Amino acid sequence: MATKIEWTEVTWNPVTGCSKISPGCKNCYADRMAKRLKAMGVERYRNGFELTLQDDVVDLPYSWKSPKLVFVNSMSDMFHKDVPLEFIQRVFKVMNDCPQHHFQVLTKRSERLAEIAHHLTWTPNIWMGVSVENQDYTYRINDLLETPAHIKFLSVEPLIGPINRMRLKGIDWVIVGGESGPGARPMEKSWVIKIRDLCREREVPFFFKQWGGVNKKKAGRLLENREWNEMPDKYQVEV
């Protein structure tokens, strides 16, 4: 499905629904969207935001004619404890079989990621990322770095507190963004600048997604009068 998410092209959701595990989950956009879709009578979201395996969607990438940049499970978390390892392996097999596409997988459950990573096949077209919403959750970076993923990235969104130290050696890309929608928590400019500067010092591509807030469009995505749309160097070389 085409998406308005600035750093990808399409979404693919073999799993929908999730549960909240850290402060970054408080105002989850996927939770709001799933409940809205359920109210609209969309069959796939009959369970609302309860974790649901969408078995009929797993093979979808085989049908795509042209290469795509794909955000996997924008409406869930692949590494949720209730997603069986066998199902995750099925999803990875599809990604392994479709080298023409690049798949972006993102999780807050870095402990499980590190635990089962050796049971998965990591082809170069699979990007693995973890969410880091403030300094307290930078430990997820260490878990990510234990995996054999060829492209490793950080989604620092929603950024709800300062991050003054983060391990960037071995990281290929950093995305930063503020929270949007009802109840959005503010993001300080100084927090964004600090991360941007850390990325520049370590030559890590930096992507600034949005300032967020209740009116995301009005707030925009300019940082110091420019857009930051850098992508992983490995990806830029390959395409």
**Domain spans, the chain:** 10-238
Dihedral sign of CA atoms 149, 3, 46, 27 in order: positive
User: What's 63's DSSP letter?
Assistant: G
The pLDDT assigned to 236 comes to 60
- Which CATH code fits 10-238? 3.20.20
* Per-residue confidence band for 199, with pLDDT thresholds at 50, 70 and 90: very high
Report the alpha-carbon distance of residue 143 to residue 115 in Å, rounded.
Answer: 9
**pLDDT tens digits along 160-197:** 999 999 999 999 999 999 999 999 999 999 999 999 99
Q: What is the DSSP string of 163-232?
A: ------TT--EEEEE--BSTTPPP--HHHHHHHHHHHHHTT--EEEEE--BSSHHHH-S-BTTB--B---
Residues 6+ apart with CB under 8 A from 190: 162
Neighbours of 170 (CB within 10 A): 10
Q: Give per-residue pLDDT as tens, 20-59.
A: 999 999 999 999 999 999 999 999 999 999 999 999 999 9
- Please tell me the pTM assigned to this model: 0.96
Q: DSSP code of 47?
A: T
Which pairing describes strands 52-53 and 69-72: parallel, antiparallel, or unpaired?
A: unpaired
- Closest to 206 (Cα-Cα) out of 154, 137, 132, 148: 154
**Which pLDDT value is given to residue 183?**
92
Q: Is the peptide bond before 158 cis (omega within 30 degrees of 0)?
A: yes
